[in-house]
A and B are shown apart, each in its own frame.
Chain A
Amino acid sequence: MDQNVENHERLEKLEGIGCSRKRREDPRFIQGKGNYVDDIKLPGMLFAVMVRSPYAHAKIKSIDTTKAKAHPGVHAVLTADDLKPLKLHWMPTLAGDVQAVLADGYVSFQNQEVAFVVADDRYVAADAAELVEVDYEELPVVVDPFKALLPDAPVIRPDLDGKNVGAHGARKHHNHIFNWQIGDKDKTDRAFSDAEVTVAQDMHYPRVHPCPLETCGSVASYDAIRGDLTVWITSQAPHVVRTVVGLLSSIPESKIRIISPDIGGGFGNKVGVYPGYVCAIVASIVLGRPVKWIESRSENLTTTAFARDYWMSGELAADKSGKIKALRVNVTADHGAFDACADPTKWPAGMFHVCTGSYDIPNAHVSVDGVYTNKFPGGVSYRCSFRVTEAVYLVERMIDVLAQKLNIDKAEIRKRNFIKYEQFPYLTPLGLEFDSGNYMPALEKVLEAVDYNALRAEQAQKRADPTCPTLMGIGITTFTEIVGAGPSKSCDILGIGMFDSCEIRVHPDGSAIARMGTISQGQGHQTTYAQIIASESGIAASQIAVEEGDTSTAPYGLGTYGSRSTPVAGAAVARASRKIREKARKIAAHLLEVSPDDLEFDLDQFKVKGDPAKAKTMKEIAWAAYNNVPDGMEMGLEAVDYYDPPNFTFPFGAYLCVVDVHKKTGETKVRRFYALDDCGTRINPMIIEGQIHGGLTEGFAVAMGQELPYDEQGNVLGGTLMDYFLPTSMETPHWETDFTVTPSPHHPIGAKGVAESPHVGSIPCFSNAMVDAFAHLGTTHFNMPYNSYRVWQHAKSLGL
């Protein structure tokens, strides 16, 4: 047989890196046999419902649970008083603050958890929840972070009275959480004083919610005889949950088993530990029966983890040619009533300091103030790494503002400021080292694909025609993301370094099982991790079982969020596979009676150099590992790897969006969206495309309709799917995708992570297109979301 054909057949059988391997998750999902948390049914299981506050800010004068407890079928009604003896009425947050598990004398946001009703089934629990009588005394409400910092603003957190220092330094006001600064302020200020041109722009990134289709929930089951606690939970980070539960409950981690079953989407919503989980655990311990708690959609949208809510002021200093000299940013971050942001411990604004973007900006300074308001806690990373969407939005909007000021084309100004290929690895003025990038060819490929010049010509023609009913906008973004948190020297959660892990066991028949510290929520880990192992170890992907999410079997890892699975756990997978391969090499050498150095690895076997007929396949080697190994070698064929990445990875992309906005109605049609992503080495092109479609659609949702606004009384106005925009198949645009490949130099297989860049990169692209539609009328910015009403208002304000 022709050597190439034979190699191709072997490669095909291997299903390694680069294949569009069909997903191994699909058979169960397409047949209704997924196992999500609400599918779990245990003997004797009870169901719980949370009683919540209708008020955004109130004193609790009394709680009467008598009627609820007397209701037939009710087993327990927990309040803060029941949790106090266990010291569980408050719990630590990931951001170094504390959060009330059940309200302790006062409530500070609408729908805050007040009591937990456990009953035979969900109907009885809901009936009994209505019978819990809470006497509230309303207090003044503040939902605006600027008003929250006024001297006479209501005190949102009386428990912090007198604490002038928080987890991130000094607090300057009773509703102030932290001030975080990075960069050289003096140099940056000087660059602004000396600049030929400066621009400034205020912008609000509204409060939104990741809103996965499956809400959060858990089933807690405590076995009083064995002393074991098992919790099934919709968690993107089951091992971290185990550590938190151990800290809270004083049960040793060896007696706690956290299982993340199939998860119906996460997008950052399922990283934290929520009061319902803690209450379900307590109830199970108290009652000795399994307790299920599943939140409703409204509870999900109004209590578990908002994202964004950043009020950003950006400034750029430049010369007349558009070359940027400095970036200055001030942010007021609305964190709600408890600081429950999911960020690495040392960085209260996450990786916002990636905000210098793809541009060679010599000076920068960032200052972020966190503020308490009477809104629900969160600050999670909605399909992005920590605060990266906000950062990318800021710089991608600011460079357009500068382009408009200088009357330079928005593609051209980016080219003038790009970090050049030869400058990598590139140290930013805010202390990050970008691993690799090649921005110019990416942008040029996009401009050519869409015929950019023709689009601009069409736009000029439409602007010149007063009878044209629509405005045409062209948005460009050339963004750089930071993902793969992260190096333990800078990133930890609760003191645990943000490594990740993989353990591989090869069985005697040459098949294998691999387990990781991450957990898929739709990303297809079962499929793609096996592809990495296949390419690195020569075991066909079809012979590899991948398991995640059970803390009793998987090695400790920090979980899946911030596009960290491929950059961190994927690296552990590659390195564990290489350990397998190197042991296999020694066994093969022993079997073939040659030196290991005389062997070369060829897809799925070791061959003797110069004598390729003499070879041992991985299948043969696996069998030998259990009966015929070299003297002094341990039997078996397994490997474990804990990978602490030396750096983050920096995926990038170039996106272009064309919108047509109706002047009289504000209705907007996304005519075209072209997305070029560079995520380094591509593991599964089919899955990458799917991730990009999904991220673009979530970006479209945020830009065009999502927000969780509040009225002055602190009522959240976006708390159902009637009010909160999730695009349907009708609104969602058609996506065009493209790619370049610039591998990460420090990652074992050069991969960077991909699922979040389309979200991060597309939102400013939509904004840039919407602003561009009005740019000739003097608009430099207007805030998201661009629903028809808001756009119509903007058009009207311009006299259209």
Chain B
Amino acid sequence: MSKKTIVSFKLNGAAIDVMVEPRELLIHTLREKLSITGPHIGCETSHCGACTVDIDGASVKSCTVLTVQCEGAELLTIEGFAKGGVLHPLQEGFTQEHGLQCGFCTPGMITRAYRLLQENPNPTEEEIRFWMAGNLCRCTGYQNIVKAIQYAAAKMRGETVTTSHPLMAEISA
């Protein structure tokens, strides 16, 4: 077995020191050593995006990066989105627009969408679909994920937002 090494980075704003084998993948360090279980493992081959985290301002599939590569980095995971009990507009958008079902892809989706909106605060549907193509969802068919991101983008731009699923739409008094 290889020698272990200490890696230091910032995780959702907190300073972390963690001891790992050089071969250990970031997703395993996060999930098994740091109790960060929001990012999930769906394929281990970089296809599904369920493990997406943000490292130094880039979306990274954490199943394909070694923890030792994160020395000195700033990491953001889904656990760092809600602040003081207030949901991030993306989290609100996903629930208002029904952008999730089983929830397994959701942390990766939101983390990826966050990076998109940092780079492009007003994306078109086509741009959203292009940017999100590295994150697979088996439940929603993506249509409501697109709407969820549009909802969040509008809210982050300070615009008034409403759900496209009003509670009582099919019920008359």
B98 contacts which of A123, A212, A689 (Cβ < 8 Å)? A689
Instruction: Judge whether A262 is part of the interface by a CB distance below 8 angstroms.
Output: yes
CB B126 to nearest CB in A, in angstroms, measures 9
CB distance A30 to B101 under 8 Å?
Answer: no
Give every chain A residue within 8 A of B103 (Cβ-Cβ).
Answer: 25-26, 28-30, 34, 262, 264, 522
In chain A, positions 58-87 with a C-beta closer than 8 Å to chain B are 72-73
Q: How far is B101's CA from A31's CA once the two chains are assembled, in angstroms?
A: 14
Give every chain A residue within 8 A of B43 (Cβ-Cβ).
Answer: 297, 720-721
CB A491 to nearest CB in B, in angstroms, measures 26
Give every chain A residue within 8 A of B136 (Cβ-Cβ).
Answer: 213, 721, 726, 728
CB A757 to nearest CB in B, in angstroms, measures 14
**Which chain A residue has the least Cβ–Cβ distance from B132?**
A729
Comparing A4-12, A459-467, A612-620, the segment that makes contact with chain B is: A4-12
Instruction: Judge whether A33 is part of the interface by a CB distance below 8 angstroms.
Output: yes
Instruction: Judge whether A283 is part of the interface by a CB distance below 8 angstroms.
Output: no
CB distance B45 to A521 under 8 Å?
Answer: no
**Given A26-B100, A32-B39, A213-B50, also A21-B146 (CB < 8 A):** no
CB distance B138 to A32 under 8 Å?
Answer: no
CB B61 to nearest CB in A, in angstroms, measures 12
Instruction: Judge whether A54 is part of the interface by a CB distance below 8 angstroms.
Output: no
Instruction: Judge whether A96 is part of the interface by a CB distance below 8 angstroms.
Output: no
Instruction: Judge whether B48 is part of the interface by a CB distance below 8 angstroms.
Output: yes
Q: How far is B143's CA from A173's CA once the two chains are assembled, in angstroms?
A: 49
Comparing B66-74, B78-86, B153-161, the segment that makes contact with chain A is: B78-86
Q: How far is B41's CA from A694's CA once the two chains are assembled, in angstroms?
A: 21
Give every chain B residue within 8 A of A97 (Cβ-Cβ).
Answer: none
**Given A213-B136, A214-B42, also A32-B37 (CB < 8 A):** yes
Give every chain B residue within 8 A of A27 (Cβ-Cβ).
Answer: 95
Q: How far is B167's CA from A11's CA once the two chains are assembled, in angstroms?
A: 11
**Given A265-B138, A729-B146, also A685-B169 (CB < 8 A):** yes
CB distance B102 to A212 under 8 Å?
Answer: yes
Give every chain A residue within 8 A of B167 (Cβ-Cβ).
Answer: 12, 15, 19-22
Comparing A140-148, A248-256, A594-602, A730-738, the segment that makes contact with chain B is: A730-738
CB distance A264 to B102 under 8 Å?
Answer: yes
CB distance B141 to A735 under 8 Å?
Answer: yes
CB distance B144 to A264 under 8 Å?
Answer: no
Q: How far is B23's CA from A722's CA once the two chains are assembled, in angstroms?
A: 23
Q: How far is B140's CA from A728's CA once the two chains are assembled, in angstroms?
A: 11
Instruction: Judge whether B96 is part of the interface by a CB distance below 8 angstroms.
Output: yes
Instruction: Judge whether A296 is part of the interface by a CB distance below 8 angstroms.
Output: yes
Q: How far is B96's CA from A471's CA once the two chains are assembled, in angstroms?
A: 40
CB distance B39 to A20 under 8 Å?
Answer: no
In chain A, positions 517-560 with a C-beta closer than 8 Å to chain B are 521-524
CB distance B78 to A31 under 8 Å?
Answer: yes
Interface bits A19-49 vs B (CB < 8 Å: 1, else 0): 1111101111111111010110100000000
CB A1 to nearest CB in B, in angstroms, measures 12
CB distance B173 to A4 under 8 Å?
Answer: yes
Task: Tell me which of B44, B96, B134, B139 has the highest count of chain A C-beta atoms within 10 A of its own C-beta.
Answer: B139
Give every chain B residue within 8 A of A20 (Cβ-Cβ).
Answer: 165-170
CB A55 to nearest CB in B, in angstroms, measures 23
CB A776 to nearest CB in B, in angstroms, measures 31
CB distance B138 to A694 under 8 Å?
Answer: yes
CB distance B142 to A732 under 8 Å?
Answer: yes
CB distance A694 to B139 under 8 Å?
Answer: yes
Count of A residues near B, CB < 8 Å? Answer: 72
Q: How far is B100's CA from A26's CA once the two chains are assembled, in angstroms?
A: 8
Interface residues of B: mostly helix, strand, loop or mixed? loop
Instruction: Judge whether A577 is part of the interface by a CB distance below 8 angstroms.
Output: no
Interface bits B20-40 vs A (CB < 8 Å: 1, else 0): 010110001001100011111
Interface residues of A: mostly helix, strand, loop or mixed? loop
Interface bits A169-204 vs B (CB < 8 Å: 1, else 0): 000000000000000000000000000000000000
CB distance B133 to A523 under 8 Å?
Answer: no
CB distance A729 to B166 under 8 Å?
Answer: no
CB distance A123 to B166 under 8 Å?
Answer: no
Give every chain B residue within 8 A of A734 (Cβ-Cβ).
Answer: 143
Instruction: Judge whether B60 is part of the interface by a CB distance below 8 angstroms.
Output: no
Give every chain B residue within 8 A of A726 (Cβ-Cβ).
Answer: 47-48, 136, 138
CB B52 to nearest CB in A, in angstroms, measures 12
Instruction: Judge whether A105 is part of the interface by a CB distance below 8 angstroms.
Output: no
Give every chain A residue within 8 A of B135 (Cβ-Cβ).
Answer: 728-729
**Which chain A residue has the least Cβ–Cβ distance from B97?**
A686
Q: How far is B79's CA from A73's CA once the two chains are assembled, in angstroms?
A: 32
Give every chain B residue within 8 A of A521 (Cβ-Cβ).
Answer: 102
CB distance B166 to A722 under 8 Å?
Answer: no
Task: Tell me which of A18, A34, A687 has the highest count of chain B C-beta atoms within 10 A of its own C-beta.
Answer: A34
In chain B, positions 57-115 with a C-beta closer than 8 Å to chain A are 77-79, 81-82, 87, 91, 94-96, 98, 100-107, 110
**Which chain A residue has the least Cβ–Cβ distance from B145?**
A729
CB distance A72 to B1 under 8 Å?
Answer: yes
B168 contacts which of A11, A26, A211 (Cβ < 8 Å)? A11
CB A792 to nearest CB in B, in angstroms, measures 23
CB distance B45 to A32 under 8 Å?
Answer: no
CB B35 to nearest CB in A, in angstroms, measures 8
Q: How far is B144's CA from A22's CA once the two chains are assembled, in angstroms?
A: 14
Q: How far is B42's CA from A297's CA once the two chains are assembled, in angstroms?
A: 7
**Which chain B residue has the least Cβ–Cβ distance from A127?**
B1
Give every chain A residue within 8 A of B79 (Cβ-Cβ).
Answer: 31-32
Give every chain A residue within 8 A of B144 (Cβ-Cβ).
Answer: 689-690, 693
Q: How far is B165's CA from A20's CA once the two chains are assembled, in angstroms?
A: 6
Instruction: Judge whether A696 is part of the interface by a CB distance below 8 angstroms.
Output: yes
B140 contacts which of A8, A39, A214, A693 (Cβ < 8 Å)? A693
A sample of 16 inter-chain contacts (CB < 8 A) reads A26-B103, A32-B37, A211-B138, A263-B102, A265-B102, A267-B138, A521-B102, A522-B103, A689-B144, A690-B139, A694-B101, A698-B138, A721-B45, A728-B142, A729-B128, A735-B141
Given known contacts A31-B79, A32-B77, what 18 new A-B pairs fall within 8 Å (CB)? A20-B165, A20-B166, A26-B103, A30-B95, A31-B87, A32-B79, A36-B104, A213-B50, A262-B103, A297-B42, A297-B44, A522-B102, A522-B139, A682-B170, A689-B144, A694-B101, A721-B48, A732-B141
- B interface residues, Cβ below 8 angstroms from A: 1, 21, 23-24, 28, 31-32, 36-45, 47-48, 50, 77-79, 81-82, 87, 91, 94-96, 98, 100-107, 110, 128-130, 132-146, 163, 165-171, 173
Q: 8 tightest A-B contacts by CB?
A: A32-B38, A29-B103, A264-B104, A522-B102, A697-B141, A522-B101, A693-B141, A32-B78
- A interface residues, Cβ below 8 angstroms from B: 4-5, 7-8, 11-12, 15, 18-23, 25-34, 36, 38-39, 41, 72-73, 121-124, 211-215, 262-265, 267, 294, 296-297, 521-524, 682, 685-687, 689-691, 693-694, 696-698, 720-722, 726, 728-730, 732, 734-735
